[in-house]
């Protein structure tokens, strides 16, 4: 039982690094403008390369039903859509305020998993889940002295993104149960790449953003984007594999540790790499968040008693 948990837990570690890198990427190349479409196109083109590599080493990629292929390609399209909403949220909000909204993914996952896959949780699992979510939302609270206006627009972007993440996970599990994980992953990234190419040719705004970002960043943005997408894809693959071993809600629940992991990384980054990331390190802010992390650990312990 712990095997799927450790597999699922590896994903938020990778995604936390990605979140910090995304914030840096957006801050450096968007210049306050809406250029998320152009940034996402880089990911779409890299997805084509990933699909090609998977295709080389995976047999029988064309031997699944056409409907399954179409559903998995749609998952790739859903993926590029939620990433667009996520990047847009990063452009208008801080990473520390955006990422905690991923805590809503298990909620959407529970509802969709129940409706379409018939998945249910035991009383003990529900209790542990609620405790983890409580700790996760506690991380979201701003305990600084300055009063900030609630960012409704970025929150809306993230709620839509999180619903799409949960929907993609449900479709992936529905298609892949009894099938090949790598075959499903191949078609998912084919879909990501196809929608990326279509966006490049049929959405002029995204194409112009892509070209402008490429001219501005050149080799640096290619290298940074490649690293980000490699880590993202690794996290996605780990999550998708864990989804095949446990209920979708449980897997996404483990992802609720991401805000806590991100907090730890931002604190380390603030100390050693302040030019990349900064975090308020006052006791007023840190102590409640440390308590929140402790609550989340307690909740995970209840899940496996």
Cα→Cα distances 114→90, 214, 299, Å: 31, 43, 22
pTM of the model: 0.78
| Nearest residue to 68 (alpha-carbon basis) of 164, 176, 223 | 176
Tens digit of pLDDT for each residue in 148-160? 555 577 778 988 9
pLDDT in the model for residue 97:
67
- 23-200-93 Cα angle (round to 5): 20
Residue recorded with tokens 């995976």: 58
Average pLDDT score over residue span 160-174 = 91
Asked whether the beta carbons of 236 and 12 are under 8 A apart, the reply is no
| More confident: 144 or 153 | 153
The Cα–Cα gap between 289 and 138 comes to 7
Tell me how long the chain is.
305
**51 band by pLDDT with thresholds 50, 70 and 90:** very high
Helices (H) and strands (E) in the chain, counts: 13, 0
Tens digit of pLDDT for each residue in 221-244? 778 877 887 888 788 888 888 888
The Cα–Cα gap between 168 and 251 comes to 13
Region class of 32: left (phi > 0), else alpha (psi between -120 and 50), else beta: left
pLDDT in the model for residue 203:
92
Most confident stretch, 30-34, 169-173, 194-198: 194-198
The structural domains of the chain, with segments of one domain joined by +, span 2-21+35-303
Asked whether the beta carbons of 98 and 86 are under 8 A apart, the reply is yes
pLDDT in the model for residue 34:
62
Question: Half-sphere exposure (CA, 13 Å, Cβ side) for 220?
Answer: 9
Tens digit of pLDDT for each residue in 280-297? 667 776 777 777 777 777
Tens digit of pLDDT for each residue in 105-132? 877 887 788 888 787 777 877 787 788 7
| More confident: 285 or 184 | 184
pLDDT in the model for residue 163:
92
Among 145-149, 199-203, 235-239, 252-256, the minimum mean pLDDT is found in 145-149
pLDDT in the model for residue 179:
62
The Cα–Cα gap between 123 and 101 comes to 25
């Amino acid at each position: 039982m712990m095997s799927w948990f450790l597999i699922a837990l590896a994903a938020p570690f990778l995604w936390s690094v990605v979140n910090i890198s995304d914030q840096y990427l957006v801050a450096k190349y968007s210049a306050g403008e809406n250029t998320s479409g152009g940034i996402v196109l880089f990911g779409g083109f890299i997805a084509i390369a990933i699909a090609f590599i998977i295709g080389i080493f995976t047999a029988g990629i064309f031997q699944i039903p056409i409907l399954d292929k179409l559903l998995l390609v749609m998952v790739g399209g859903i993926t590029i859509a939620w990433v667009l909403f996520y990047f847009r949220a990063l452009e208008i909000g801080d990473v520390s305020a955006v990422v905690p909204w991923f805590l809503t993914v298990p909620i959407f996952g529970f509802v969709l998993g129940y409706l379409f896959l018939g998945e249910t949780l035991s009383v003990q699992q529900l209790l542990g889940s609620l405790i983890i979510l409580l700790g996760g939302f506690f991380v979201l609270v701003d305990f600084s002295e300055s009063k900030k206006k609630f960012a409704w627009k970025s929150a809306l972007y993230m709620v839509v993104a999180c619903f799409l993440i949960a929907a993609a996970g449900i479709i992936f599990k529905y298609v892949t149960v009894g099938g090949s994980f790598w075959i499903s992953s191949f078609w998912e990234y084919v879909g990501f790449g196809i929608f990326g190419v279509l966006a490049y040719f049929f959405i002029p705004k995204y194409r112009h953003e892509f070209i402008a970002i490429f001219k501005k960043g050149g080799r640096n943005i290619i290298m940074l984007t490649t690293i980000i997408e490699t880590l993202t894809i690794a996290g996605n693959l780990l999550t998708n594999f864990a989804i095949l071993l446990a209920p979708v809600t449980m897997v996404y629940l483990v992802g609720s540790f991401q805000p806590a992991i991100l907090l730890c990384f931002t604190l380390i980054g603030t100390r050693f790499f302040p030019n990349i990331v900064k975090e308020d390190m006052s006791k007023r802010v840190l102590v409640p968040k440390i308590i929140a992390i402790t609550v989340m650990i307690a909740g995970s312990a209840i899940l496996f008693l």
